[in-house]
Structure 1
Amino acid sequence: MRIVLSLLVLTFSLVANSVNAQSTLYFNFKGYTPTGLAGEGAQLKRFDGLVVRDGKVAATGDAETLAQLFAGKDLKRVDLQGKTVLPGIIDAHGHMLGLGENLMQVDLREATSEQDAVARVVAFAKIESGDWIIGRGWNQENWQVRNFPTTASLDEFLSDRPVWLTRVDGHAGWANSKALEMAGISAETVSPDGGEIVRDESGQPTGVLIDNAMALVEQQLPQKDASYHRRALTAAFDHLVSEGITGVHDAGVDATNLAVYQELAAEQAMPVRVYAMLSAMEPALPELLAAGPITTADDRLTVRSVKIYTDGALGSRGAALIEPYHDDPNNRGLLVTQPGAIEDLFELIIPHGFQINIHAIGDRANRIALDKFASAFDTVGGRNLRHRIEHAQVVHPDDLERFAELNIIASMQPTHATSDKNMAEDRLGKARMRGAYAWQTFLQQGTIVAAGSDFPVELSNPFFGVHAAVTRQDRSNQPEGGWYAHEAMTLEQALRAFTLDAAYASNQEELLGSLEPGKWADFIVLDQDPFAVDSAKLWRADVLATYVAGEAVYQQSSQ
C-alpha cells in the first residue's frame, strides 16, 4: 500500500507542476483503460475523471480529487453526462484507400444473390457517368446458390461498358465480357503465377479472376492520381472517426498513397493516426526503405513497416494449404509471392530496421512465413522488430507455439471468424479447425494479438469486432453458444487487442493505446458501458464523440 501511495503522490506532483497551463477536466463518466505493459500483464483501470493538457493525458482518477488538484481559473470542465469513456480504438489492419473507394463505388456487401448483385450494379450504372463501373463486396458464400458469378449475368444488362467488381475479401474479381476483352483475356490466355482465370467446362473464362490474375483487368482501370487518393482517404477519415477509430494500421501503401499521406500530415488534415505499411509490390520500395522511417512530430503519420503477401483468401480458395481443400481435393490454394521472393524481401527490409507484416491465411502460408522469419533471424537479424503475421487465420497446430518462440505478433480480425463460419469447415474440414481463428490459444501462450477489421473486407465498426471476439457469434447471435467458443476472448482482452496491444504492434505503446499520463489523449465517448451490458449487445455501442490529441474530431449532431 505504501508503494501505491508513493506512486500516486509522485504522479500528482508531476502533473501539479503544469496546472498553470490550460487543462480540461472531463468528469461524470465511467472510464476504462488498460494500463501498464501490453499483453496479459496489463491491468484494467476504472476512473471517472480525466485531465487533458497540450493534447496529452495529464491525469486520470477520481474526478473530485483531480478537480482539487487542478483547481484554477484556467481549468475547463466538461460534463460527459454519465456516458462511458474508452481509449480511442486502433484498427491494426485496414485498407484506407480501399475503404474510401468503397464509399465512392457500388457496394455489393448486402447482395443476397448473383441476380441481386447485378441489379445493384445496374442501378448504380444509371447514376454513374464514368467509363468503368466499379464495385466491391460480393460474397457468393452468402448467396443461396453458392457458386461464383459469371459474365453472362452482367452482359445481359451491361455489355457496352466495362464492369469490374471485387470480391469482399479483395482476392477475386468479377468482370463482364467488355472488361475481359479490354484485358485481352480469352480461352487461350494462360493464368499467371499466383493467380487463376476461372474457366467453364469448355475452357472459356467465366469472368472470375483470382489473386494475381486480377491484375490483368486492374491494369486497364482508370489511373488513380493523387487527387483521387486524397478524396478517398478523406472519405475514409470521416467514416472512421464516426465509429470511434483514432488509429489505423494501413496494410499496403504505394508511393502515390504515401505522398498524399505526407501532404495531408503537413497540412494537419489527418484526424486519424495512420501507421502505414509500405507495399512490398511498390517498385520504389528499395528507395523508400533507404530514405528511412517517417514519424511526424504529432504522431499522425508513422512509416516503418512493410506489407508482404504470401497467399490469397479462404473464401476464394486462394489461401495456401498444406493439404488440399476439403471441398476441392485438387486444390491447395495459391502462393501470391513465392518463397524465394519472400526471402529476398526479408533480406532487403530487415537491415533498414523496418518491421515486416506478412499476410498469411492458410496453414502452408503461415508455415512459410514462420520459416522465413526463423531463417532471417539467424542470417540478417531483426528479431527485435516486432514482426507480425497478418491474419494468422489457419495455423497448423504444430506451428502455433512458434509464434511465441519467434516473438511474432498475431494481427487478427475477429469478424473474419463470424463471417467465415458458414464456409470455413467446408474449406478445411473439422480436423484443421483446431488451429483456425485461435485467439485464446495465442493469448494463453503469451502471443500478442493485435485486433483489426480488415476493412473494407469487413465493416470497419470496431464494436462489431469486439462483439465477435467475445461471443464468437454474428450480430444475430448465431450460432447459439458461439462458434468454437473456447477460442473467444474476454471483454478485457478484446478491448486491449483493439487499443494497447494494437499500439504495441506498431511500437507505439508508450504514446498510444491507453489513457495514461504522458500519452496522447485519444479517447471516445460511448452511449453504453460495455462492461455492464449483455455481451450479445456489444455490437450496438454507439459512438457519441471521438477525440484525438484532446480535440473533438467527431461529435454526434445531438451532442
Structure 2
Amino acid sequence: MKKIFSILFGCSLAGLIALNSAQALPTLLHNVKGYTIKDGELESFDSILFENGVILDTGSHDELAKKSSFSIALDGKGKTLLPGLIDAHGHILGLGLNLMRVDLRGIDSEGEAVSKVKTYAINNDARWILGRGWNQVLWLNKEFPTKHSLDKAISDKPVWLRRIDGHAGWANSKALELAGITKDTPDPEGGKIIRDEHGNATGVLIDAAMSLVESKIPPINRKERKAALNLAFNHLIKLGITSVHDAGVDFETYKLMLELSAKDRIPLRVYSMLSGSDPRLEAMLKYGKVNQPFLKIQSVKLYTDGALGSRGAALLEPYSDEPDNKGLLLTDEKKLEQYFKLITKYGFQVNTHAIGDAANHLVLKQLAKLDKDVSAKKLRHRIEHAQVVVPEDIPMFAKLGVIASMQPTHATSDMNMAGDRLGEERLEGAYAWRTFLDNDVIIASGSDFPVEKANPFLGLHAAVTRQDSDNQPTDGWLPSQRLSVTEALKSFTIDAAYAGFWETKVGSLESGKKADFILVDKDIFTVPEEQIDDVQVLETWIDGKRVH
C-alpha cells in the first residue's frame, strides 16, 4: 500500500502541478463529469486514477479510493472530462505555415482579400507574399478572383494565395511571369489554367497547374519548418487535440519529425502519412514503420482527384453548373494500382484522397482487387474525405473493410455550393455520415485543417446539427444525415484511434491506456446541441501531464 501524503481535494490544479510537475505519482482526479466510449457504448464516471501516464481505473470516487491507493488528489470542480480528441485528417506543417502567413478564411469579397494581403505585405519583408483561405463561393458574385485586383495592390513582388481547399491558387502577374505562364502555356495533365475570353491566364490555377507557380517559390528552410510545426503543435493542444493524423508529409518533414521524436520534442501523438507524391517515397518505405510513443508512421497519403469547390473533384457525370466538366483525375487507374502494389509490399496502410463519386468508385475498385494479406481488412486502408459517393457504393466500404476518413465541417462549409455543383439527385450520397454508419462503416473524423479550422468542437457540432457556426440552416442541411453526440464523439476518439492503429493505447479512458484527456467548460451531452461549438477547452492532459 503506497503511503498517501496530504493533498487537499480543494487545491487548485495549477498549484498541484507546481508541486509535482512530473505527475508520475498515483493521481486521482475526482469530482468530474467524465465520459468515454467503451465497447461502442457511452460510459460515465466521476473519477479517474492514473500513474506514470497510464490509466489505472475510472469509476466513482468512493470505489477508487477503496480499491486503489493514490498520492495526489485533484478536484475537477464538476467540469466535464472527455478522452483527448483525435483529428484523423489534418496538415500540421500547413497549419503552422498558415499561422505564419496571410489568413483569408471567411473573407467576404475579392476586394477585402486584396486589402488584407496588402496590409500583410506592408508589415512583412518577404520575398513572396503567401497566404491561404479565400473562397469565392462566399463572395457576392461567386466568381474566381483575377490577377488584376492583386496587381493594383502589389506589382513588384510575386503573390500566391491558395484557395481554402488547397486545390486552386490565385496569383498576381509577377508570380505568373516568374512561372513562365503565357497565353501559349498548355494545361498540365491533371490541372487547369483558368483563362479569359482571349485565352490569357486570369491568375487562378487548378490542381496540378499550381505547381507551375509553386515550383518557383523558394523552399522553406529547416528553421522555418521547425517553427511552423511547433506553432501547429501548440495550437492543436490548446484546442483539446491530443492526437493528430498528419495527411501527407514530405521527406524533409519526415526527417524532422524523426529527429523531434528522438529528442522527445513532439508534445502530442502524431500519426504521419507519407506523401505518395514525394520522389523519395520508397526510401521512406524501406526505412520501415515507426512506432514510438508520440510518433507512428505506417501509412501513405495518395490523391485521386481535386476538390468540389474548385470543380476539380472527379465526377461520373458532368457538374450541374458546368456541363462540359467532370473534374480532374489526378491519378489514373494504372498509376493507382502501381502505388498500391508498392505501398502494400511494405505493409503500409494506404489513405487515398477521393472527393468525387468517380474518384471514390475508382479507389473502391482498386481496393477490391487486393489480396487478403494486404486488404483493407488487414491494413485498414482508408478513403480520405469520401464526400460524394454513389449510394450503391457505400456498402462496399464495410464489405471491404475500408475506413471512411471524413470531416464534418466540410459539409457545412460546402452546403452553399454543393447543390449547385451536384444537383439534388447526387446529394443523396454526399456527406452521408448517417448512411455510412447505418451500413456499418467506420468513420474517423477530422477537420482537414488548415482547410477548415482545427477546433474539434466545430466538427462535433456540424456532425450533430448539420449546421454552421451561426446555426444555419435552422433545421440543418440534409438533416437526415445527422449523428448523435455519442456517435460523433466516437468518430473523434476511439474510431479515429483505430484508423491510426492506436486503439489499444488511446481513444478511450480505460485501464491500461494512456491518460490523454481534456477538461471542458460545458457538458456536450446535456447542453443544447447548437451550443456544442461554443465549448471551451480548460485543460489538456497528455500522458498524465497537464500540457495546457
TM-score normalised per structure 2:
0.95
Match for residue 537 of structure 2 among 523, 537, 543: 543
1:63 aligns with 61
- Work out whether 1:35 is the aligned partner of 2:38: yes
In structure 2, the residue matched to 1:242 is 238
2:113 paired with 1:117: yes
Deviation for aligned residue 1:380: 6.1
* Pair 1:319-2:308 in alignment: no
**4+ residue segments displaced more than 3 Å:** 377-383
CA deviations on 1:57-86 (whole Å, 9 max, x unpaired) are: 1100001221232335xx101111110000
Match of 2:389 among 390, 395, 420: 395
CA contact (8 A) 1:351 1:382 kept: no
Establish whether residue 365 from structure 1 lines up as the match of residue 368 from structure 2: no
The answer for the alignment partner of 1:409 in structure 2 is 403
* 1:227 counterpart residue number: 223
Is 1:23 aligned to 2:23, yes or no? no
Deviation at 1:47, TM superposition (A): 0.2
What is the aligned partner in structure 2 of residue 533 from structure 1?
A: 527
The answer as to 2:155 corresponding to 1:152 is: no
Rounded Cα–Cα distance in structure 2 between residues aligned with 1:519 and 1:231: 31
Aligned to 1:165: 161
Within 1, Cα distance between the matches of 2:443 and 2:254?
27
The equivalent residue for 2:81 is 85
Q: Deviations over 1:171-220 (max 9, x none)?
A: 00000000000000011101110000110110000000000000011111
Quick one: which amino acid aligns to residue 485 of structure 1? Answer: P
Letter of the 1:431 partner, please give it.
Answer: E
Q: How much has 1:265 moved relative to structure 2?
A: 1.0
Determine the structure 2 residue equivalent to 1:100. 96
Equivalent residue for 1:450? Answer: 444
Name the structure 2 match of 1:52.
50
Q: CA deviation at 1:377?
A: 3.2
The answer as to 2:198 corresponding to 1:202 is yes
Residues 183-332 of structure 1 correspond to what in structure 2 (within 5 A)? 183-296=179-292, 299-332=293-326
SS at match of 2:153: coil
Residue 127 (1) aligns with residue 123 (2): yes
Q: Which amino acid aligns with 1:337?
A: T
TM-fit CA distance, 1:379: 9.7
How far apart are the structure 2 equivalents of 1:374 and 1:382?
A: 9
**SS of aligned partner of 1:248:** strand
8 Å Cα contact 1:319-1:333 kept in structure 2: yes
Q: Deviations over 1:363-382 (max 9, x none)?
A: 00000000011122379656
SS at match of 1:421: helix
Q: Secondary structure at the match of 2:370?
A: helix
Q: Deviations over 1:263-282 (max 9, x none)?
A: 11112111111000000011
SS in 1 for 2:78: strand
Partners in 2 of 1:381 and 1:539 — Cα distance? 37
**C-alpha spacing 1:86/1:382, structure 2 compared with 1 (3 Å):** closer
Among 110, 134, 148, the alignment partner of 1:138 is: 134
CA distance in 1, matches of 2:370, 2:215: 34
Alpha carbons of structure 1 residues 548 and 378: separation in structure 2 relative to 1, 3 Å: closer
Question: What TM-score comes out, normalization by structure 1 length?
Answer: 0.93
| Contact 1:195–1:210 (8 Å) recurs in 2 | yes
Q: 1:553 to 1:540 in 2, by over 3 A?
A: same
Deviation string for 1:113-155 (max 9, x for gaps)?
0000000000000111011000000000011110000000000
Secondary structure at 1:422 match in 2? helix
Any unmatched runs of 5+ in structure 1? Answer: 1-20, 37-41, 555-559
Q: Which residue of 2 aligns with 1:483?
A: 477
String of CA shifts for 1:514-544, please: whole Å, max 9, x gaps: 0001111100000110011000000000000
Amino acid in the other structure paired with 1:238: N
Q: What is the percent sequence identity of the aligned residues?
A: 53
For 2:301 and 2:540, the matched residues in 1 are separated by 28
1:396 deviation in Å? 0.7
CA contact (8 A) 2:376 2:402 kept: no
Verify: 1:342 aligned to 2:340, yes or no: no
Residue 313 of structure 1 aligns with an amino acid whose one-letter code is A
1:493 corresponding residue in structure 2 = 487
Hey, what's the Cα distance between the residues in 2 that align with 1:203 and 1:338? 28
Partner Cα distance (2:228, 2:371) in 1: 38
**In structure 1, C-alpha distance between the alignment counterparts of 2:422 and 2:85, rounded to whole Å:** 32
Distance 2:242 2:523 in 1: 19
Return the offset for 1:397.
1.4
Q: Deviation of residue 383 (structure 1)?
A: 4.1
In 1, distance between residues paired with 2:138 and 2:259? 40
> Which letter does structure 2 place at the counterpart of 1:119?
S
Aligned pairs, how many? Answer: 525
Contact 1:353 1:382 in 2 (8 A): no
Counterpart-to-counterpart distance in 1, 2:25 and 2:547: 19
Q: Give how far 1:226 is off.
A: 2.0
C-alpha distance in 2, partners of 1:67/1:152?
70
CA distance in 2, matches of 1:248, 1:378: 28
SS in structure 2 of the partner of residue 423 of structure 1: helix
Alignment of 1:498-517 (within 5 A): 498-517=492-511
Change (3 A) 1:543 1:378: closer
For the residue of structure 2 that corresponds to 1:521, the secondary structure is coil
SS at match of 2:118: helix
User: What is the DSSP-based 3-state SS (H/G/I as helix, E as strand, rest coil) of the residue aligned with 1:332?
Assistant: coil
Does the CA contact (< 8 Å) of 2:147 and 2:202 recur in 1?
Answer: yes
In structure 2, what is the equivalent of residue 424 of structure 1?
418
User: Which whole-Å CA distance do the structure 2 matches of 1:380 and 1:526 have between them?
Assistant: 41
Instruction: List runs of 5+ in structure 2 lacking aligned partners.
Output: 1-23
Q: Does the CA-based 8 Å contact 2:26-2:69 persist in structure 1?
A: no
Q: Distance in 1 between matches of 2:325 and 2:69?
A: 69
Instruction: Report the secondary structure of 2:340's partner residue.
Output: helix
Change (3 A) 1:372 1:239: same
Q: Tell whether the 8 Å contact from 1:347 to 1:380 is kept in structure 2 after alignment.
A: no
Structure 1 pair 543–379 and aligned structure 2 pair: CA distance change class (3 A): closer
What are the Cα deviations for residues 242-288 of structure 1, in whole angstroms up to 9, with x where unaligned?
10000100000011001111111112111111000000011111111
1:4 corresponds to: none
Supply the AA of the counterpart residue of 2:256. V
Offset at residue 507 of structure 1 (A): 1.4
Once the two structures are TM-superposed, the CA of residue 228 in structure 1 deviates from its matched residue by 1.6
- Whole-Å separation in 1 of the counterparts to 2:374 and 2:519: 45
- Residues 390 and 381 from structure 1, CA distance in 2 versus in 1: closer, same or farther, beyond 3 angstroms? closer
